[in-house]
């Protein structure tokens, strides 16, 4: 008992230490505020990681009415490293806790945190104990440093103190108390857990209390106490037929329903029987696991069986945020990447989904309520949507809707600048449209220094080089100088480390230029084989980079490129292959894979090589040396044309230099 009293004294001192120091790091004025007061929040960053920061923001987490909320704050510097702002405490505020930020630096307050307890309010002691109990890290807000976490024994002490001062809190924090007790005290606590659940069941329960009973049951051995668990669940279903457990059960049942029409009809009944507004204060594990999947399964099954998108578009405002991202990926980005739907049709779809995604940046989903502020959620939402925004920008670029395109380029700029070649090309064009050629050239140089440039960007750079120098004679040296550096040296070193030396089986395949090509007849040359197919989006995305490599060695008779078309399944694939190559002005010689005698598919060479060299998938790059040996192989495409061209060039030059 004496130990507990001492620990309690220490923890209470931690609350007041900021107020007693000569120069507190964090303080609230007045020192003893009441809910509803406008208070001054003061932060002295002198001895923190945010010392000398140019600007400081914070998120203030407020526990009021036993629920957490998170709000953004901007602090003003009143003197060196002294920052201040004001905030109006909501009614029934029991505890506040601040996290300070500047750029990527974060100050959570270390062991004592930056918290202020209003101990006259119910929930104050319990929320303070729960905030610093690590076992609730996933269930509550996780905003404190590891050093601030307390033992479950101390956490339980705070729950007990809460109940001693506010007896009515027992019905609100029974689950947390039971979990802390089980974690901190040896022995079997099953009887205590059962008795507490029985006591709570006698009350008129809120949705949150119903769910806490479900979580309390999980503290029991499910086999040993099956009868008790079943009886409690039956009681919950009988007393609350439209309550939390009933809703969870119906969600799981609907998820497994195979009849799509019945599923849609019963889902509408589900929404009527369990209105979202009635469950705004409770977010269950089942809801987290099933609800979005249930909604998505209905949408996709409806499209498959009815051949239209009406369920999706008619219910966009009811779809969860991550479902919207998924819709955009499946209905816009994938067909755009695969070139399977016309751009104007994709724009019709995207113009419905993308604006709704932007609206949702201002609406925090239930799973993040109280855990993220609106600015934190906006950042998270934009990060999740960035790929879709970029796809939409590419669509708008093709449609020449530059004003709309520019808007989405700015939205994704912080995520993709210099590192994504699709973005880089669009952004360079954007700068040129703005008449800012100097900025465009500098941007292209920086992108190129990171080896994330396209052929079009190099063309712009080459045009500028010619204008500045009157000749392109030294352009390749100029480009090499931009790329030079430790990262490029490391890139080359890692690539050379991939060199192999293996025999490779011969082939003789039909050529798009007429006649056949026999691999063994190419000895004395370095041969680059690119396995691809007309249906393979990454293969086609890689071709601008391959064209850069082909162009570089177009005058070198000892370097030969072949583009081996494999795994085709349409009857006129040769015609479509030639049309694709001509349409894009690719100076490529196509080889057509032979029919596989075992499978009947046109993948004979691919099948032999994939088995011999243990790979799967295309695009597949293979480089054979002058002696007919396989020296390098690569699967897939990184996304950077300039990097791909460099890969091919580095290996070619290495093989040329071998003695």
| pLDDT tens-digit map of 358-376 | 999 999 999 999 999 999 9
pTM score, two decimals? Answer: 0.88
pLDDT score, position 377: 98
382, pLDDT greater than 50: yes
302, pLDDT greater than 90: no
Mean pLDDT score, 114-135: 97
Average pLDDT over all residues of the chain? 93
Beta strands in 192-312 (DSSP E): none
What is the rounded CA–CA span in Å between residue 418 and residue 152? 48
- Tens-place pLDDT, residues 201-211: 999 999 999 99
Reported for 522-525, long-range contacts at CB under 8 A and 24+ positions apart, including other chains, are: 522/560, 522/624, 522/628, 523/626, 523/627, 523/628, 524/558, 524/626, 525/557, 525/558, 525/559, 525/560, 525/626
pLDDT score, position 472: 86
Nearest to 654, CA basis, from 516, 423, 532, 492: 492
Mean pLDDT score, 185-209: 96
The single-letter DSSP state of residue 341 is S
pLDDT score, position 12: 44
For residue 215, the SS3 value is helix
8, pLDDT greater than 70: no
Mean pLDDT score, 444-453: 94
pLDDT score, position 486: 80
- Tens-place pLDDT, residues 392-446: 999 999 999 999 999 999 999 999 999 999 999 999 999 999 999 999 999 999 9
- Tens-place pLDDT, residues 472-524: 888 988 998 998 778 888 889 999 999 999 999 999 999 999 999 999 999 99
pLDDT score, position 308: 84
* Beta bridge pairs of residue 40: 29, 86
- Tens-place pLDDT, residues 52-106: 999 999 999 999 999 999 999 999 999 999 999 999 999 999 999 999 999 999 9
4, pLDDT greater than 60: no
pLDDT score, position 483: 87
Cβ(25)–Cβ(44) under 8 Å?
yes
Q: What are the distances in angstroms from CA 441 to CA 445, 453, 459, 461?
A: 6, 12, 11, 6
11, pLDDT greater than 80: no
Q: Determine what percent of the chain is predicted with pLDDT higher than 90.
A: 89
pLDDT score, position 446: 95
Cis peptide before 619 (omega within 30 of 0): yes
Mean pLDDT score, 176-197: 96
């Amino acid at each position: 008992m004496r130990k507990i009293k001492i620990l309690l004294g220490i923890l209470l001192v931690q609350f007041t230490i900021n107020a007693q120091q000569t120069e507190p790091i964090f303080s609230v004025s007045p020192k003893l505020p009441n809910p509803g007061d406008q208070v001054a929040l003061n932060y002295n960053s002198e001895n923190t990681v945010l010392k000398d920061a140019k600007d400081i923001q914070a998120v203030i987490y407020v526990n009021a009415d036993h629920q957490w909320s998170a709000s953004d704050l901007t602090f003003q510097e009143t003197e060196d490293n002294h920052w201040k702002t004001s905030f109006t405490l909501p009614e029934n505020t029991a505890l506040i806790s601040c996290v300070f930020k500047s750029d990527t630096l974060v100050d959570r307050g270390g062991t004592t945190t930056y918290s202020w307890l209003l101990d006259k309010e119910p929930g104050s002691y319990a929320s303070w104990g729960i905030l610093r109990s690590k076992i609730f890290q996933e269930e509550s807000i996780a905003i404190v440093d590891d050093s601030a976490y307390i033992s479950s024994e101390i956490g339980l002490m705070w729950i007990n103190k809460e109940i001693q001062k506010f007896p009515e809190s027992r019905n609100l924090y029974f689950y947390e108390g039971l979990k802390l007790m089980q974690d901190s005290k040896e022995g079997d606590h099953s009887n205590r857990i059962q008795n507490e659940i029985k006591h709570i069941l006698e009350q008129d329960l809120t949705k949150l209390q119903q769910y806490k009973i479900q979580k309390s049951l999980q503290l029991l051995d499910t086999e040993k106490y099956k009868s008790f668990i079943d009886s409690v669940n039956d009681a919950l279903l009988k007393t609350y037929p439209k309550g939390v457990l009933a809703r969870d059960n119906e969600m799981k049942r609907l998820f497994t329903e195979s009849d799509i029409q019945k599923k849609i009809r019963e889902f509408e009944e589900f929404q009527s029987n369990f209105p979202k507004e009635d469950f705004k204060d409770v977010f269950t594990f089942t809801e987290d696991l099933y609800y979005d999947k249930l909604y998505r399964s209905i949408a996709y099954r409806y499209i498959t069986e009815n051949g239209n998108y009406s369920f999706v578009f008619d219910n966009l405002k009811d779809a969860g945020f991550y479902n919207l991202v998924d819709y955009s990926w499946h209905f816009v980005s994938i067909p755009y990447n695969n070139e399977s739907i016309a751009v104007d049709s994709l724009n019709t779809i995207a113009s419905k989904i993308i604006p709704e995604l932007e609206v949702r940046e201002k609406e925090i989903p239930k799973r993040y309520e109280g855990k993220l502020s609106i600015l934190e959620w906006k950042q998270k939402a934009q990060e999740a949507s960035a790929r879709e925004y970029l796809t939409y920008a590419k669509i708008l670029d093709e449609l020449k809707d530059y004003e709309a395109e520019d808007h989405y380029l700015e939205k994704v700029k912080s995520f993709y600048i210099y590192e994504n070649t699709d973005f880089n090309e669009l952004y360079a064009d954007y700068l040129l449209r703005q008449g800012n050629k100097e900025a465009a050239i500098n941007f292209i140089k920086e992108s190129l220094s990171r080896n994330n440039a396209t052929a079009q960007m190099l063309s712009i750079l080459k045009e500028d080089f010619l204008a500045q120098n009157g000749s392109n004679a030294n352009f390749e040296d100029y480009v090499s100088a931009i790329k030079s550096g430790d990262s490029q040296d490391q890139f080359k070193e890692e690539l050379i480390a991939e060199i192999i030396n293996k025999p490779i089986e011969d082939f003789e395949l039909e050529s798009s230029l007429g006649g056949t090509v026999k691999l063994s007849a190419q000895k004395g040359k370095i041969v680059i084989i690119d396995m691809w197919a007309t249906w393979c989006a990454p293969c086609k995305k890689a071709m601008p980079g391959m064209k850069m490599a082909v162009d570089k060695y177009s005058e070198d008779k000892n370097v030969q490129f072949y583009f081996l078309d494999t795994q085709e399944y349409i009857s006129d694939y040769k015609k479509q292959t030639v049309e694709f190559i001509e349409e894009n002005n690719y100076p490529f010689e196509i080889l057509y894979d032979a029919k596989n005698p075992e499978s009947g598919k046109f993948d004979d060479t691919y099948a032999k090589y994939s088995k011999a060299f243990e790979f799967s998938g295309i695009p597949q790059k293979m480089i054979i040396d002058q002696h007919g040996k396989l020296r390098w192989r690569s699967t897939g495409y990184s996304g950077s044309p300039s990097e791909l061209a460099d890969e091919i060039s580095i290996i070619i030059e290495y093989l040329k230099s071998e003695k």
